[in-house]
Amino acid sequence: DAPTFNSLATSYGLMTNYYAITHPSLPNYISIVYGSQNGIKSDCTKCSVNAKNLADSLEKAHKTWKTYAEDLPKAGDLGITYGGKNGYVKRHDPFLYFKDISSSKKRRANVVPFTQLKKDMAKKALPSFSLVIPDLNDDMHNGTVAAGDAWLNKNIVPLINSPALGANGVVFIVFDEAEDSDTTNGGGHIAVIAAGPGV
């Protein structure tokens, strides 16, 4: 059901010893941009983290960042869900949990609707770091493997092949956690693919 995933894993790099931190989703997303779950153990919607994060490190190094979130209605929106039960959820958008970002309208402007990705690619204006967040249907949380694979083929394969990615660009395709029944090393054994000209 996943020819695109399988093709990318074969053509580029498949990390075979990668494990999520825990269950459920949010602590794993916080870990992606912070390095640990910072005490967050649930998919809380009102919790926050008062700590330095990847965005702070990037900005300190004069690098740029953005989140491209499917079904997010407008840049910087702090809503919890959009697009129905299979749409956007805040718990998959980790930068919005950090106080120094959520409290700043200017910094929240880096959290944009997914439709902005194609525009930035066309202008060759991708940031140094991008976090692309499919909705619950397209990330296979609520949708099928086939639907997620089709979304990957339609939206991420063009990114991997885009001149906007640059000669050393890398796209990491990462799952936040394994099935709930898989608690190996905390959040279970997950697939991670590294693809692009830099691989």
Q: How far is the C-alpha of 190 from the C-alpha of 119, rounded, in Å?
A: 31
Let me know: does 97 contact 44? Beta carbons within 8 Å. Answer: no
pLDDT one-digit tens code per residue, 82-133 = 999 999 999 999 999 999 999 999 999 999 999 999 999 999 999 999 999 9
Q: In what order do the strands lie in the sheet with 111-113?
A: 111-113, 65-69, 129-133
Looking at residue 184, its pLDDT comes to 94
What's the whole-model pTM score? 0.97
The predicted-structure confidence for 50-84, as pLDDT tens digits, reads as follows 999 999 999 999 999 999 999 999 999 999 999 99
Question: In Å, what is the CA distance from 175 to each residue of 19, 43, 57, 110?
Answer: 10, 16, 23, 22
